[in-house]
Chains A and B, each alone.
Chain A
Amino acid sequence: MPSLKDLRNRITSVKSTQKITKAMQMVAAAKLRRAQNAAESGRPYAEKMSATLGNLAANLVGGVGAPKLLSGTGDDKTHLLVVCTADRGLCGAFNSSIARLAARHARKLASEGKTVKIFTVGKKGYDMLRRQFRAEIVENIDIRGTKPVDYAFASEIADKILARFDAGEFDVATLFYSQFKSVISQVPTAQKLIPAELPSTDGKTTTGASADAAMEFEPSEEAILTTLLPKNLTVQIYKALLENAASEQGSRMSAMDSATRNAGEMIKKQTQIYNRTRQAMITKELIEIISGAEAL
């Protein structure tokens, strides 16, 4: 049986752990609010961008010479999986659920005889996928100091992906990130990046005009599309990073909340054992004294 001192030590250690998890929870809550705001204020841009692109693409349907970023290379042999995770752990299943989704996807593609390449953003995803897919990982970027994530960082990633695409290294790109639904629900999501997946427009433009209304383009439609598509890539990545940041904090908050609660329960249990042991010892000593006195 553990001595009283052991029990006391254990209680203090659990208490200090609880203090840490509590602090982490509160920090995550504050960061979550900021990340959520950023994700929400970034949404109009991404929405308007894909709506406009949807229009353009709808006008161009069947048009010859659609950019490859939109129509694809006409092949789907080589897939690039862009896996966005966080740099830090201790946030529940956040990192592992994204990594698991990506790994499942990669195995499925491999079993179909396709070549898989993996591009990881964030240290945790790299660490997890490295074990299984060492040969497939082509590049890894850490998020490091770029916090909160900014547009420049997203465009840096997009440039790297585009450079690989232009070099013909892959045919299809899929982005993996965690969509932020609410504090308790984050959904790991796979999104096609290349060829671009655009919302189907029901003949409406962003500004409410019907798509058949003669729209003028300056410069030409093709020129706009070629400048817009790479930008769209950046915007989609930026959106994913923002969603990820919010999801990470939300996930960490609920993980740390349950950790704090578990620590509280453990403290309660240990304190009970401690008190009981202490009482037992006192009783034992009393019995010894009394029976000693009776023996005289």
Chain B
Amino acid sequence: MATFHFDFVGPERTLYSGEVEAVQIPGTEGEMTVLPGHAPVLTTLKVGVITVTEKAGSGKRIYVQGGFADIGPNSVTVLAERAAPIEEVNAGVIDKEIEAAELARDATEDLEKREQLNGQIVQLREAKHVLGAN
């Protein structure tokens, strides 16, 4: 099967780079799977899991939190703000994040910020659900 180049870059270092067959990306507007020859799209990411398929049956799963994906005709670049291999993330870690976000929300007076944090909490809950299902 055809492949394309996939780069996964975190602020501190490049986390993944190589030829892949498919990548599943948690876009803010919805999950999407990118196959070779995808139309160019630029999308922001929500909290979730990126699934990289190197070839049928073998791949990697990476937990991301915010960032964006730049999908071009023959390569995909994901710039993640925070990322970790899926093995290092469990429901407990996300629970802590949710708690921190809730505390921050209750502490702030700024309505806009509250709204933003609320969105974040919803996303975190979703991510927890996804993780729990596996």
Contact between B11 and A45, CB atoms less than 8 A apart: yes
Stretch at the interface among B54-62, B64-72, B91-99, B125-133: B64-72
Contact between B41 and A216, CB atoms less than 8 A apart: yes
In the complex, what distance in Å separates the CA atom of A223 from the CA atom of B119?
15
Interface size class of A (residues with CB under 8 A): 20 to 34
B29 within 8 A of A: yes
B118 within 8 A of A: no
B81 within 8 A of A: yes
Which residues on the B side are within 8 Å of A151 (C-beta)?
11-12, 81
Which residues on the B side are within 8 Å of A228 (C-beta)?
68
B interface, over-half SS: strand
A231 within 8 A of B: yes
- A224 → chain B, closest Cβ, in Å? 6
Contact between A44 and B9, CB atoms less than 8 A apart: yes
How many chain B residues touch the partner (CB < 8 A)? 27
A238 within 8 A of B: yes
Which residues on the A side are within 8 Å of B41 (C-beta)?
215-218
In the complex, what distance in Å separates the CA atom of A218 from the CA atom of B38?
14
Closest to A228 in B: B68
Which residues on the A side are within 8 Å of B81 (C-beta)?
151, 231
Which residues on the B side are within 8 Å of A213 (C-beta)?
40, 73
Which residues on the A side are within 8 Å of B73 (C-beta)?
207-209, 213
Contact between B12 and A52, CB atoms less than 8 A apart: no
- A98 → chain B, closest Cβ, in Å? 23
Closest to A38 in B: B12
Write the B1-40 contact mask toward A (1 if CB under 8 angstroms, else 0): 0000001011111100000000000011100000000011
Residues of B within 8 A of A (CB): 7, 9-14, 27-29, 39-44, 68, 70-77, 79, 81
Interchain residue pairs A-B with the least CB separation, the first 5: A207-B72, A41-B13, A218-B43, A151-B11, A216-B41
